[in-house]
Amino acid sequence: MKRLLLPLLVIVLFYSDSVIHLVFPESLFGDEQVAVSRLFLIGLLFMAAFLDRNTALKYSFLFGFFFDIFYTGILGAYMFFLPLIVYISSKLVKVLENHLFVFCFIVLFSVFLLELIMFQLNVLVERTEMTAAQFMTTRLGPTLLLNFVIYALLAVPLKNAFEKLPRI
Amino acid sequence: MPQLFTNKRLIILLGSIIVLVALIGFSLRDREHLSWPEQFINDVIGLGQAVVSKPAQGVAGFFDDIENLRHTYEENKKLKERIQQTAQLESEVERLKRDNEELRTVLGKRESLADYEPIQATVIARNPDRWYDVITIDQGEASGVQPNMAVITAEGLVGKVKTASKFTSTVQLLSAHDSRSRVSAVIQGDENIFGLIEGYDKQKKALSMTKIPYDAKVKEGMLVTTSGMGGVFPEGLVIGKVKEMTPDEFGLTQTALIEPAASFDGFEHVMVTKRGMTTVLPEEEEQGQVLVEGGDL
């Protein structure tokens, strides 16, 4: 039974972003601003830091693939970049200190990195007309703020959850 | 300084970059039908998504209700004024409808481009990364949804079906940036003025309608609907109202900014319109040149 808990938690995290988007109206930050929750990524980073890096890599690969198919339709984007970012952040955790306050910066940096990569990718495949300046002003700030709030609310529960779970 | 890239890691990295590029190339092809593994994964994830999003929408609806409650008094006042006009309009519509039917029987012409069969659907997911405006609905091929069908809310046209799996489908909203997406539209006036809806201006929150003849006299506030000439969408779905006219760069045609009638966020129920008349899709090999509604003209 305990073996099922980790996949279940990942599934919940996987759905969480779209549910957050459904529940909170788009105009939360005003009409122009776009805030994107990245709870799924935050969860994976916690898994890498407090459970096991390789497990987190496997999950981010698999669920990144699902994310691509079900939500975005560009296959390969999240499948490739989620594990990459999890990997980079786990290296940073090793270099820096494994403390929740320091970890906050690593998480926000990872969110920034993911947003930046996805921005470049979407410009590349012509799915957006946003310029870099627009991206910085309308998207990056609100996104980092929202994810900071999510981190502040869920950091302790997530840490506790991953420290207690068995490694699969 | 620890060595970041050992040989093995470098090979994995390079290998996955190749796979990434290949996969992105594969998914960007203009394909209407998903491969079966994708359909299967879509259906399975869609099932779970439907389970989690129903209660979430309940919560969201509750907040909306509270918000609505605050404006009830003013809205009520306005609506009462409207109702009186509506009754008159209704009787007129009824009379015209009967007239139309009678004349059609006289002509022996039964089918019309405006006929469609609505398929009710609920929005179960919105693209959480918000780069591309797509939503997922809980009806698929099993209930008759096909790619390129028009999707409407009570207010008007919101998008078209992009891909359909067995039990879920992906809907691309009009606000999504897609240079290949066009909708054949008509501005209703004394004379019908045809044009194409292409593109959405996020800053101005307006759709742009191009290829309007230079001598067409379009006034602000005129109603824009689908023309049904694109081959897939039925005729007469409301798109919005003309907001502003500008001549294009060579002065040969005009471009209209259109304020969409439907909002592209915050809706929960949509209808997929299955056109009564035969739909026309370009042949596979023609698709490069011929643009059809939602890749279409």
Residue of B24, B26, B127 with shortest CB distance to A125: B24
Going by C-alpha positions, the residue among B220, B152, B226, B232 that lies closest to residue B192 is B226
Whether residue A85 lies within 8 A of chain B, CB to CB, comes out as no
CATH 2.40.10.340 range(s) for chain B read 118-178
pLDDT for res A158: 92
Whether residue B106 lies within 8 A of chain A, CB to CB, comes out as no
Q: What tens digit of pLDDT does each residue of B233-259 get?
A: 888 899 999 998 888 888 888 899 999
Taking all residues of chain A, what is their mean pLDDT, rounded to a whole number?
A: 89
Whether residue A123 lies within 8 A of chain B, CB to CB, comes out as no
Confidence of residue A21 (pLDDT cuts 50, 70, 90): confident
Alpha helices in chain A (DSSP H): 5-23, 39-50, 53-67, 77-95, 100-124, 132-134, 141-164
Higher pLDDT, B6 or A140: A140
Residues of A in contact with B203 (CB under 8 A): 32
pLDDT for res B288: 39
Check B129 against A36: CB less than 8 A apart: yes
Q: A30: left (phi > 0), else alpha (psi -120 to 50), else beta?
A: left
Check B46 against A70: CB less than 8 A apart: yes
pLDDT for res B275: 83
Whether residue A90 lies within 8 A of chain B, CB to CB, comes out as no
Taking all residues of chain B, what is their mean pLDDT, rounded to a whole number?
A: 84
Highest CATH level, class, for B118-178: mainly beta
Q: What tens digit of pLDDT does each residue of B35-46 get?
A: 888 899 999 999
Structural element, H or E, at residue B66: helix B36-70
Query: In terms of CA atoms, which chain B residue is nearest residue A15?
Result: B49
Range with the lowest mean pLDDT among A30-34, B155-159, B292-296?
B292-296
Check B26 against A18: CB less than 8 A apart: no
- Paired sense of beta strands B238-247 and B134-137, if any: unpaired
Average pLDDT score over residue span B218-245 = 88
Contact by Cβ (8 Å): A50, A157: no
pLDDT for res B169: 93
Residues of B in contact with A91 (CB under 8 A): 4
Residue B155 Cα distances to B110, B130, B183, B261, angstroms = 27, 23, 17, 6
Whether residue A96 lies within 8 A of chain B, CB to CB, comes out as no
Contact by Cβ (8 Å): B49, A14: no
Higher pLDDT, A47 or B275: A47
Contact by Cβ (8 Å): B271, B153: yes
Average pLDDT score over residue span A89-101 = 86
Q: What tens digit of pLDDT does each residue of A38-76 get?
A: 999 999 999 999 888 999 999 999 999 999 999 988 888
Residue owning tokens 């693939």 = A65
Rounded distance between C-alpha atoms, residue A5 and residue A1, angstroms: 7
- Asked if the model's pLDDT at residue B209 lies above 80, the reply is yes
